[in-house]
Amino acid sequence: MSVDWRSLTDELDIWRQQGLALPLWWRDDDAVSTTPQLDRLTAMSDHLGVPVHLAIIPRDAQDLLIEYVTSHPNLIPVVHGWAHQNHAPPDEKKSEFPLHRPMDDITGDIGSGISRLRTLFADRLCPMFVPPWNRIASEVVQELPAAGYRILSTATPRSSPQAAPGLAQINTHLDPIDWRGSRGLADPDMLIAKTTQLLQDRREGRADNAEPFGILTHHLVHDEDIWAFTHDLLHRLLNGPGFVWSASQAD
C-alpha cells in the first residue's frame, strides 16, 4: 500500500514551527473477549506507547477479558452501551439510546453497563460512556452523570467541553474504516486530507485544540491495510506535535 503523507507532514511541520502541541488519544470499540486481533491491538499499543481506551460491550463481556485487560496496563476499559442493540426504527440511523423506549428502560441499561463493568474491572474501569454507533439522544446524555459516568465519547469535533454538568465530552475524530463501502480501509488520500483539515481547524481556532484528537478503531474487523495505516498515522502524529492523552487525566 502506497500512501502520500505530504499534506499531513507539511501541516505537522507548521505545528512544530509555531510551537503547538496536539493532545492525542485512541479508542477501540466492540470488545467482548480475548482474540488474536486483541493481541495485535495490544502489541501495537505497547509498541507505540499509546494507551487504548477499550470500549467493552457490558452484556456480552466474557470472563477471559477480565484477566487479559488487568494484565495489560495500556488497555483502559470503558463502557460501550449495554448490548450494542439497535432500538431506532428502520427509517432512522442505528442507535441503542434514542428516545424510542421508556426512559426507565434506557436509564436501566446505562446503569447496568457501568455496574457490570465495575464488578468485572473494579478500579481499572474508566467512567466513560461510549454509545454504540456514536449516537445518543440529548435527553439521555443528561442522565449519564447520575449513573456514575464522567465522560461521554462520540464522534466529530465537540461543540463544548461538557456534554452535561459534570460530564466531559471527549470525542473521536478519525475512523479509518470504509463502513459504507468495502468495509476495508477508506481511501488513504481522503483520510490524510481529513486529518490535515482537522488539524488546520485546530491551529486556526475553528476547533477546540484542548479536546484530545481521537483515533477510533475496531480491532475485530481490521485488515492488513487498516492495521498499517493506523500504526503509521499514530506514529507520525506522535513524531510531530502529538502527545499522549488518557482518560485518567480527566479525573
Q: What are the sequence ranges of the domains in the chain?
A: 5-244
Q: Looking at residues 77-92, what average pLDDT do you find?
A: 97
Percent of the chain with pLDDT over 90: 97
Q: Looking at residues 1-8, what average pLDDT do you find?
A: 91
The CATH number, out of the four listed (3.60.15.10, 3.40.980.10, 3.20.20.370, 3.90.180.10), of the domain defined by the range 5-244: 3.20.20.370
For residue 177, what are the contacts with CB-CB under 8 A and spacing of at least 6? 183, 184, 185, 186, 217, 218, 221, 226
Residue 66 has pLDDT above 80, yes or no: yes
* φ, ψ of residue 23 in degrees (nearest 5): -70, 135
Confidence of residue 250 (pLDDT cuts 50, 70, 90): low
Residue 40 has pLDDT above 90, yes or no: yes
Confidence of residue 16 (pLDDT cuts 50, 70, 90): very high
Name the average pLDDT for the chain.
97
Residue 1 has pLDDT above 90, yes or no: no
For residue 131, what are the contacts with CB-CB under 8 A and spacing of at least 6? 81, 95, 96, 97, 152, 154
Q: Looking at residues 49-65, what average pLDDT do you find?
A: 97
CB 61 within 8 A of CB 116: yes
Residue 97 has pLDDT above 80, yes or no: yes
Residue 251 has pLDDT above 80, yes or no: no
